[in-house]
Structure 1
Amino acid sequence: MRKLLEYFIRYEVAVNIVIFAFVIFGIFGFLSLKSSFFPLVDSEIININISYPAAAPEEIEEGIIIKIEDNLKGLLGIDRVTSTARESGGSITIEIERGEDIYVILAEVKNAVDRVPNFPSQMEPLVIAIQEEIRQTISFAVSGENIPLATLKQITREIENDIRAMQGISQIEVTGYPEEEIEIAVRENDLLAFNLTFNEVAEALAAANIFTTGGTIKTPTEDYLIRANNRSYYADELNNIVVRADPSGNTIRLKDIATVRDQFSETPNASYFNGNLSVNVNINNTNNEDLISTAEQINAYVDEFNLKNNNLQLDIVNDSSISLNQRTKILLENGMMGILLVLLFLSFFLNTRVAFWVAFGLPISFLGMFIFAGFFGVTINVLSLFGMIIVIGILVDDAIVISENIYQHYEKGKSPIRAAIDGTLEVVPPIIAAIITTILAFLTFQFLDSRIGKFYAEVSIVVILTLLISLIEAFIILPAHIAHSKALIRETDEERAKKKGIDKVFVKLRVINRTGDKVMVYLRDKFYSPLLSFVLKHNFLSFAIITSVLILTIASIMGGIVKVSFFPSIASDRVSINLLMAEGVNPQTTDSIISLVEKRTWEVNEDFTARQSGNLQVVENTIKRVGPGNNKASLTVNLLPGEERDFSSPEITAAIREAVGDVYGVEQLTFGSGGNFGGSPVSISLLGNNKEELKAAKDELKATMLN
């Protein structure tokens, strides 16, 4: 260690080469890192999607789900199986154990499903697949006044094609309208007039509307592929299908006996933006795509589109890049503040040039971390940025200890080179011990189980890599710079008087150093030294005081004075309201209730806007969704950003809940304005075969918990 340290201290050029390498490779490493809102993790979930048109939830549960669940029992590597049955469909979610190969489990699940002897004949083929790890990046609504849904859908499809042509965007989801279908309404009087039956019409349609291959004709020169492509996708293309023809040339076409039209299916699935019909476009990112670049491209496209169109507009509903950019800004601000504070306080107590070289270690440590971060799968996300913010304060401590000790050896009369060597080697053991203890503390995140463990493992990787690089900076780069710095040059009063320019400024700052020394001596002699003497003289009393404080702290936690939570509830700029009605309810009833909630929301907005600074609208927009299904609806209320809003989102949520009041006939109506990272604090599942008993147990449990 001594020889290595002496080499770099004596030969400053070698240190500059190391710095140059850190800067160049660190910049390349940073630019190669992807950005995401949360750390990237591999999927551990397999989904089985069930589609059984017009079937009741009980039929799907008894005829499909229970059979599959029975065959999944006993499969190794499966942690939990969760099933949901709903009208016309259902799903089974399979969570695998940590460390298992998901592709092996997928094959075993498919084999287990294949062993089910029989399924209902009307059921569509099951879809068994690994749940792709995609993350919401940005979403926007396509809306306008008095624009039909069919027109909105057509325009949105064109927008989707434009976005798919952008680089780095593959996951686009368009929602807000039911499936399209072609309705053929056969007129009974015309059937009787032409002596036709309904089956004849159906057979004619099936025979004419085809897309098939007819094989290959081989010739000596080339081969001909025979195909029949007569499939139609729109109503007007079906009108001229011949239903019957006779030898005399008389033909009966479909339009002669039926009305054919394009329409949306009767399954409710509609979206409204500020009361206008809308179609929603959600852009997600996979593990191979970048969040920031995706959001920038979409924002640019939205701005350009809105400039070209007046009545039709695109409105950003959610943008995850905003939070990520805000946290990046916090990191940069904290880093700059840390550097300035180091310069300020070290200049006050030590030497301005020494303070500069201490602060210089912050960017070097981060650049060194970026070199290796990519090899560990680290991305620029809210948790990795959180780790960088944490480590800023730790980095400066070691550099301050080393620089102060070097300066102390210099003040004893040693040469700058000798002071740097001796001062650094003297504090190597305690600094390494301090770094190791910090690394061990953060290393525990690597052993946390579940998804939370995977997320916080990235925090520990960032902190550990930065601390390891900081050791190189503190033991090699920092001593070399201080040893060759003008801070360790002894000058006479005459030499100081001749200084000009920046050197003269540093001379003036020496006066501040002397003032700082006097302050430290005063604090040491008048406060610290008497307190230390008292503690050492009355050690039993001191130990009793510390023990009492510890007991009070534990008692405060156990007694509920200090609240405990795994992760604090995060208030957001959004209020989410979800409505669940009984199965089989009329969709108009569901729509009327969620519309009432929306009306009350705008009334609450008027009250809060009147009290808001600048008279800004507290509610920026609302998104109402009816469906999928007759009994489900939701309302998303986007609020003014928290930095500009005078009221908290829970306060606004409570006001909306109070304005809506009691709504009778609903199964569930929930109001939420935040989220619990990692899931809800308490989650209870009730198991049983009798639905009525489960409902009674649920109601009893809710009543008990409320009381």
Structure 2
Amino acid sequence: MWFARFSVRNPLLVNLAMVTIMLLGAYAFVVIPREASPDINFNWAFVTVVYPGAAPEEVEQLVTVPLEDAIEGVDKISMVTSTSDESLSFISVKFEQNLSEDDFDKRFLDLRQAVDTVRLPDEAEDADVRELNTQDWWPVISVVVSGELSETSLKRVTEELEDLIRLDTDVSQLTIAGKRDREIWVEVDPDRVESVGLTVPQVARAIATRNLNVPGGAVAAGRSEYLLRTVGQFDEADQVGRVIVRSGPDGDAVRVSDVATVTDTFEKAELISRLDGEPSVTLNVAKKAGASTLSVVKSVRAVVDAYEKDKLPGGARIALVNDQSIFINDIMRRLQTSAMLGIVLVLASLWVFLGWRAALVVVIGMPVTFATTFIFMRFTDRSLDGNALFGLVLVLGMVVDHAIVMVENCVRHLDMGKDKARAVVDGIGEVFQPVVASTATTIAAFLPLMLMPGIMGAYLRIIPLVVTLALVASNIEAFLILPAHAVEWARPSGAGSRREHRWFRALRMRYVRALAWVVRRRYWAVGAFLILAFSSAGLIPLVGVDMFSGDEMSFFYVRVWMPQGTKLSATDDFLRRVEEIALDLPAAELEAVMTTAGMIAEDDGTVTGTHVGQIVVDVVERKDRGRDMDDILADLRLRCQLLAGYERIEFTKMEEGPPTGKAVEVKVKGPRLDRLQALVDELEGELGTMAGVYDIGNNFSPGKEEIRVHVDEDRARMHGLDVLQVAGLVRACVDGTVATTFRDGDDDVDIVVKLRGADGASVSQLESLTLAGAGSAPVPLREVADLQVARGYSAILRFEGERAITLSADVDDAITGAVEVNRELKERFRALSQRYPGYALDYRGEFAEFQEAFGGLARLFVLGVFIIFLLLTAQFKSLTQPFIILFTVPFAFFGAVVGLIAIQAPFSLMTLYGIVALAGIVVNDSIVLIDFINRGRRGGAGRWRAVMKAGSLRLRPVMLTTITTVAGLMPMALGVGGTSETWKPLANTIVWGLSMATFLTLFVVPALYAISDDVAWMKKRRARREESVGLAVPGEMHPAD
């Protein structure tokens, strides 16, 4: 082969190229950003419309439904959900996951244009259309400022840290939770303002007209010109109380301080946050796309360290929580440990089988292969995340397979007495075609995995890419660099054969005898092996199913829902009780407890309200604590069940990987909300009877009791008012209105005017509110409107154009599985569906993701096998021999199932992923084996001699390629250096599947080859009989054949 001859003749050039590649690869490895997970384009967009004062039903009818109708015409949309809240319409649009970045940009533009065609109510604000960026999904670190400080001091420290952190150009955005802006409250006394004949809007108008700074042009005086400006702006908060609201003809004036109390305070609290029981403000730091999490976290830590040293006031403390760099470093440590141990095991295996010289020739290709892969990743702006690193660990043993076959064959030619150069060129040329074919088949199995659908497909897409790059790089190294090293480092040539290890010689002899026994009884043997392989399908129920298994992160959520209408302070009081339980965890387990009342963060968005809250419990790393996360959660769940007053409480541990939703997440769809609620209640009852199902709940809320103001248009018109004016005046009195804003240093401070006590007034008190009519006299609200108490909806949820309620639950994998629970729920709904015609269930969340991924992997498995079949057909120019080779795939599946039973691991998506990958790995040994049988037959050997000789000659490389692949994955499969719940099942699948398939391949492939030869012989005999040419019927296969 010309490339082998070129390498042998130009060793200096080859070595220079190798050193250059390794240096560039080392540089690329150092500068590649490290991440826990790949950046995923979620292909999500959000449409938000603010419709002030509108009830949820009005928002749904006038805003949400028209927008949904327009959005329906946009192509490539997979899911649309919406929430019609008070004064707000929020629509989530999920595009197909397989869209490219350019295609998504086009569809997003189509979405904008579709939204712009909708005519919204005049009072509604313009629609805001945004896309969800990956960096918006999760902050890389949170900076929490707490301590015995005033709210002003907490705000100042947080803002100073914000300014310093923003100097890092890799930071995309900073969000602050728990910080309240300063406000001046003008709380009007209802009795005093009524006694002087004024109203709240008149007080607000007086303040607004006083706080002015109006230019008046220019004035010329002699040779000079002066700018004229009327200055009336406030310089300090005390000036607000001195504003004149009304003055009489006798000079008497009614000032703001006469009818109201002026307070320098903060805006009304919508969130209450604490760290370890102390008031806190949290600064969440997100990075730009493509930026390194490790570098951003390092920069934030440096800023915090410097601030603590120089500026932090006494009594304050800063905690860094949700630090993603800890998780990234842990993943990198575990995977790098597995990789290093795998390399050691591969090297040891090669040394035992081939000797140190040949082992060195093979192993030198590994750093070259990985360096080439790193170079490609660097110049395509990819990060070295956990998935990419696992791909390198996965391919660790495979990248030397081709070199093993080539070096072993070169040594065989060297033993024939050839000189080094001739032995290397001939040896590599002899196995060139099977090596290329085996590489192509492995790539054919892995590369289609890049087409895996759904969010899991996007999450895992880097693995087949890395494997393919490494395999191509290893082939290039094996054909262009290895030959030069093989000549330089090969043992001296001689006429005598190398001495074979005694143990391997004995093993070879036993194998040859066993192979002869199997080939003579080939029909019985193949039948037994096939029954054994296909019986593995019946073993799957013994394995169980766990759809997704991810590495747990070192924190978990406690989410709390109180009854609708609960005040924020009451919700916070309950959270304090849960907080005390969390703070009671052993000090050896606990890092920090962060409490937020008024907000819950979920996979599909943020829920806000006075009746909700969450606690984030940050624990120490798993290796540093005695209990695992499930035990801690079970302990907290049991203790929190003793509390009373809550509506729902949910405990959620966080795992590495993309968001897939809950184990049970069902959209219950139908036209009427009352019937939907009744159906959901029944389904919750059904789930409650299933063992292992917990945290059952739904996202429907009946809403708070509300006081509805029904304006009588005729009566209102008599006072010069309309419905919109009355609504605005009522809101100004109760919720307050921003009269004006004044500048105090660098801060813009709102001046809010409202009626004191109106937010807690009774119906009769609200009826006495005085409004400013067209005349001079104030108008009581009862004169223009009637007030009624009723209960409405807090929000109306829709899914795919229909009203819907989401039913959700988690499952205990030790008792049951999400697949079983969802299937059982389907069966039970059939019994209920007769009473609920027109209502349907749409299964989402983890179950839907699993179904999509499972179906996609099944299709990709078929595609991969078909491509492998085409490649093998082109290689062997036969239809029969590719089928013989592909018979090893069921044996791999059998080995994988046996392995899962042996290690007591469930059948998961990652297991299935490994089985698909196995299809391209297990055929490699069969390719080389069949190729050598064919060479023997072409050389004149009978089928018996060709089969036996090929088996004897290829035993070493077949065993060695399997051992190196298994050795590379064994540390991860066993959890040496740290267990990964994400990758351990996949590693075990390949280890067990490949080991079993290789053992059976050594016997089944030769037997199947003999059977196919029998069939071919019988066809020839039949054809000759038809030509009236008689042939003797051969008996058993004998060595002489």
Q: 2 CA distance for matches of 1:243 and 1:191?
A: 11
1:161-201 Cα distance to aligned partner (Å, 9 max, x none): 01001232231111124565431123567758988654443
1:497 corresponds to which residue?
none
Q: 1 CA distance for matches of 2:612 and 2:594?
A: 14
| CA 225–114 in structure 1, closer or farther in 2 if over 3 Å, else same | farther
1:280-326 Cα distance to aligned partner (Å, 9 max, x none): 11111221422121011112233333445453222121111222222
Q: 2 CA distance for matches of 1:412 and 1:547?
A: 39
**What CA RMSD, in Å, does the superposition of the two structures yield over aligned residues?**
3.5
CA contact (8 A) 2:290 2:383 kept: no
1:506 corresponds to which residue?
none
1:617 corresponds to which residue?
588
2:25 corresponds to which residue?
26
| CA 316–222 in structure 1, closer or farther in 2 if over 3 Å, else same | farther
Equivalent in 174, 177, 196 of residue 176 of structure 2:
174
CA contact (8 A) 1:187 1:258 kept: yes
1:488-499 equivalences under 5 Å are 488-489=491-492
* Local SS of the residue matching 2:665: coil
Q: 2 CA distance for matches of 1:650 and 1:225?
A: 72
Q: 1 CA distance for matches of 2:253 and 2:364?
A: 89
* Local SS of the residue matching 2:138: strand
2:371 corresponds to which residue?
367
CA contact (8 A) 1:342 1:355 kept: no
Q: 2 CA distance for matches of 1:267 and 1:283?
A: 23
1:317 corresponds to which residue?
321
1:498 corresponds to which residue?
none
Q: 1 CA distance for matches of 2:216 and 2:544?
A: 74
CA contact (8 A) 2:80 2:93 kept: yes
Greater shift, 13-22 or 303-312, is seen at 303-312
CA contact (8 A) 1:49 1:91 kept: yes
* Local SS of the residue matching 1:588: helix
| CA 56–267 in structure 1, closer or farther in 2 if over 3 Å, else same | farther
* Local SS of the residue matching 1:39: coil
1:164 corresponds to which residue?
166
2:341 corresponds to which residue?
337
Q: 2 CA distance for matches of 1:229 and 1:110?
A: 44
1:404 corresponds to which residue?
408
Q: CA deviation at 1:661?
A: 1.4
2:632 maps to amino acid: I
1:132 corresponds to which residue?
133
Greater shift, 473-482 or 40-49, is seen at 40-49
Equivalent in 554, 565, 586 of residue 567 of structure 2:
586
2:635 maps to amino acid: A
Equivalent in 598, 608, 632 of residue 612 of structure 2:
632
1:352 partnered with 2:334: no
1:1-39 Cα distance to aligned partner (Å, 9 max, x none): x12220111110120232133124334444553343322
CA contact (8 A) 1:141 1:273 kept: no
2:519 maps to amino acid: L
**Unaligned stretches of 5+ in structure 1?**
493-512, 610-615
2:977 corresponds to which residue?
none
| CA 358–656 in structure 1, closer or farther in 2 if over 3 Å, else same | same
Q: 1 CA distance for matches of 2:86 and 2:642?
A: 27
| CA 306–424 in structure 1, closer or farther in 2 if over 3 Å, else same | same
1:566-600 Cα distance to aligned partner (Å, 9 max, x none): 42254332221111234322223322332222223
* Local SS of the residue matching 1:629: strand
Q: CA deviation at 1:672?
A: 1.6
Q: CA deviation at 1:396?
A: 2.2
1:472 partnered with 2:480: no
* Local SS of the residue matching 2:81: strand
Q: 1 CA distance for matches of 2:529 and 2:632?
A: 44
Q: 2 CA distance for matches of 1:237 and 1:19?
A: 78
1:537 partnered with 2:517: no
1:17 corresponds to which residue?
16
1:670 partnered with 2:650: yes
2:507 corresponds to which residue?
523
2:154 corresponds to which residue?
152
1:62-104 Cα distance to aligned partner (Å, 9 max, x none): 4432332233333333332111234553421112234374444
| CA 345–19 in structure 1, closer or farther in 2 if over 3 Å, else same | same
Q: CA deviation at 1:656?
A: 0.9
Q: 2 CA distance for matches of 1:446 and 1:635?
A: 38
Q: CA deviation at 1:683?
A: 2.8
| CA 212–274 in structure 1, closer or farther in 2 if over 3 Å, else same | farther
2:633 corresponds to which residue?
653
Q: 2 CA distance for matches of 1:112 and 1:105?
A: 10
Q: 2 CA distance for matches of 1:315 and 1:72?
A: 44
2:667 corresponds to which residue?
685
| CA 113–664 in structure 1, closer or farther in 2 if over 3 Å, else same | farther
| CA 158–489 in structure 1, closer or farther in 2 if over 3 Å, else same | same
2:205 corresponds to which residue?
203
2:813 corresponds to which residue?
none
CA contact (8 A) 1:235 1:262 kept: yes
1:687 maps to amino acid: K
Larger Rg: 2
Q: 1 CA distance for matches of 2:233 and 2:677?
A: 49
1:422 corresponds to which residue?
426
CA contact (8 A) 1:137 1:294 kept: no
1:703 corresponds to which residue?
685
* Local SS of the residue matching 1:268: coil
| CA 28–644 in structure 1, closer or farther in 2 if over 3 Å, else same | closer
1:507 corresponds to which residue?
none
Q: CA deviation at 1:257?
A: 5.1
Q: Percent identity?
A: 28
1:632-664 Cα distance to aligned partner (Å, 9 max, x none): 111111122111222111111111111111655
2:542 maps to amino acid: I
1:360-398 Cα distance to aligned partner (Å, 9 max, x none): 211110111122224545222121122112111211222
CA contact (8 A) 2:365 2:477 kept: yes
CA contact (8 A) 1:142 1:152 kept: no
2:299 corresponds to which residue?
297
Q: 2 CA distance for matches of 1:706 and 1:189?
A: 55
* Local SS of the residue matching 1:468: helix
2:306 maps to amino acid: E
1:434 partnered with 2:438: yes
TM-score normalised to structure 2 length: 0.59
TM-score normalised to structure 1 length: 0.85
Q: 2 CA distance for matches of 1:592 and 1:189?
A: 33
Q: 2 CA distance for matches of 1:438 and 1:624?
A: 50
* Local SS of the residue matching 1:585: coil
Q: 2 CA distance for matches of 1:54 and 1:102?
A: 35
* Local SS of the residue matching 1:673: strand
1:109-131 Cα distance to aligned partner (Å, 9 max, x none): 3444444444373x554322222
2:279 maps to amino acid: L
2:464 maps to amino acid: S
CA contact (8 A) 1:572 1:673 kept: yes
1:95-134 equivalences under 5 Å are 95-97=94-96, 98-99=98-99, 101-119=103-121, 121=123, 123-134=124-135
| CA 239–418 in structure 1, closer or farther in 2 if over 3 Å, else same | farther
Greater shift, 335-344 or 164-173, is seen at 335-344
| CA 151–652 in structure 1, closer or farther in 2 if over 3 Å, else same | same
Q: CA deviation at 1:468?
A: 0.6
1:449 partnered with 2:466: no
1:68 partnered with 2:50: no
* Local SS of the residue matching 1:289: coil
1:182-221 equivalences under 5 Å are 182-187=184-189, 198-209=200-211
2:539 maps to amino acid: S
Q: 1 CA distance for matches of 2:211 and 2:399?
A: 72
